[in-house]
Amino acid sequence: MAFPERFSNLPEYAFPRLRALLDDHPPGGAPLAMSIGEPRHPMPAFLQDALTAALDGFARYPANDGTPALLDAITGWLQRRYGVTLTPDRLIALNGTREGLFNAALALCPEEKRGQRPVILTPNPFYQVYAVAALAVGAEPVYVPATARTGHLPDYAALPASVLDRVAIAYICSPANPQGAVADRAYWETLLHLAEKHDFRIFADECYCEIYRDTPPTGLLEIAAAQGADPERVVSFHSLSKRSNLPGLRSGFAAGGPASIRALRQLRAYAGAPLPEPLQAVAAAAWADEAHVVENRALYARKYALADETLGDLPGYLPPQAGFFLWLPVADGEAAALMLWRKTGIRALPGAYLARDTDQGNPGAGFLRVALVAPEDETRRGLTALRACLYP
């Protein structure tokens, strides 16, 4: 029986690869997961009441695009956070942002660009759904290094005009997963200018925007509004997983121009899986509240300080500007992850699993991604053991 060739070159996903690397070896201490970006902070307690009050909604099919209450809460948050006012027709509630990041490519990537196969730009390393979305629509994924030389964000402007003219979509993650770099106003302005010049869309994955040290990261929507950019040029994706410690809720949203969102809504109507209405009620309550986000950010601030205190003197240590990952330099990511597991019981992710091989090599091969998601005492234990094991 034949299988489609378009996914034949996909490597095993990062976490099955990690299990294959580690699970045949006993841990060298009490296991501690620092490999996956799953927040372990308490979820906001007030959301239990929101869920209880909405339980009868499980008896109904959910609203495809988002309930009015949820869309209203999201527009309120966008106004508070970025100073932009969007009408509900510019929003769609998502069953997790991974769904949106994938389906937006299906809905919005053309079959051809200037009579040629379209290109989808992806930072390298990157969140893996970007690559599979490109392959699913028959586009050519172009992996652009996001390394220390480029400020850990991709320098799309350095690509040849012959490539840029074929670009249909450019993915960008800010704050960046895994490096924690933040796109500033100048970066967004340059990218918007490039998109206008070469006629492509920007898909901004901004799921980590509420976890930062001091200054709230600038967002694409606010820069696009300030520049008077075509609203169809941008789609921004946000999530409650990190902001509100609700990864299991699978709730996010996409915001863009009305025509783009209309295309996403049409695709969702045929093939999507909208969030159940009781969970949309929980999401609405979470987007409407800021107090729990401030408390959550204070917890991460203490863990930033722990990381800086424990690892800050290491050559090549990069204090994350935002998000909750450390991107630690090592000689070999796989060897370091295996040694760390066998000697300490700590699970961390080899950086190469988040990147692709190119002519210049794999930009993640000399790194280890470590997630600061555990409670503070466990994070302290993990960082101390990691330092002693990998950087004695």
Tell me the three state secondary structure of residue 132.
helix
**Can you list the pairs that 52-55 forms with residues at least 24 positions away whose Cβ atoms lie under 8 Å?**
53/281, 54/277, 54/278, 54/281, 54/282, 55/278
Mean pLDDT, consecutive 10-residue stretches, the chain (392 aa), reads: 78 93 96 94 92 94 94 98 96 94 97 96 96 95 96 97 98 97 98 98 98 96 96 97 94 97 95 91 97 96 97 94 97 98 98 93 96 96 98 94
| Side chain identity, residue 357 | D
Torsion of CA 104, 107, 108, 111, to 10 degrees: 130
pLDDT at 6: 83
d(CA 348, CA 340): 8
Distance between first and last Cα of the chain: 53
Q: Can you say how many angstroms the Cα of residue 135 is from the centroid of all Cα atoms in its chain? A: 19
Tell me the three state secondary structure of residue 152.
coil
d(CA 315, CA 361): 22
Q: Is residue 33 packed enough to be buried (19+ CB in 10 Å), middle (13-18) or exposed (0-12)?
A: middle
| Side chain identity, residue 322 | A
**Could you state, in order of their start, the residue ranges of all structural domains in the chain?**
5-42+292-390, 47-289
Q: Token match 């841990």: residue? A: 27
Cβ–Cβ < 8 Å for 210, 293: yes
Residue 239 bridge partners (DSSP): 252
d(CA 243, CA 79): 16
pTM listed for this prediction: 0.96
pLDDT at 100: 95
> Would you mind telling me the total number of residues written for the chain in this entry?
392
pLDDT at 230: 96
Residue 141 bridge partners (DSSP): 120
pLDDT at 359: 86
CATH T-level assignment (fold) for domain 47-289: Aspartate Aminotransferase; domain 2 (3.40.640)
d(CA 106, CA 219): 24
d(CA 139, CA 289): 40
pLDDT at 360: 84
C-alpha distances out from residue 119 to 163, 219, 246, Å = 7, 24, 34
DSSP single-letter state for residue 91:
E
Q: Is residue 155 packed enough to be buried (19+ CB in 10 Å), middle (13-18) or exposed (0-12)?
A: middle
pLDDT at 369: 98
Q: Token match 């050519």: residue? A: 140
Torsion of CA 26, 125, 16, 169, to 10 degrees: 170
Cβ–Cβ < 8 Å for 346, 25: no
Question: CB-side exposure of 102: number of CA atoms within 13 Å?
Answer: 15
Query: Pick from 276, 269, 230: which is nearest to 60 by CA?
Result: 276
Task: Give just the sign of the alpha carbon dihedral 212, 90, 263, 59.
Answer: positive
Residue 22 bridge partners (DSSP): none
Q: Look up the CATH number of domain 5-42+292-390.
A: 3.90.1150.10
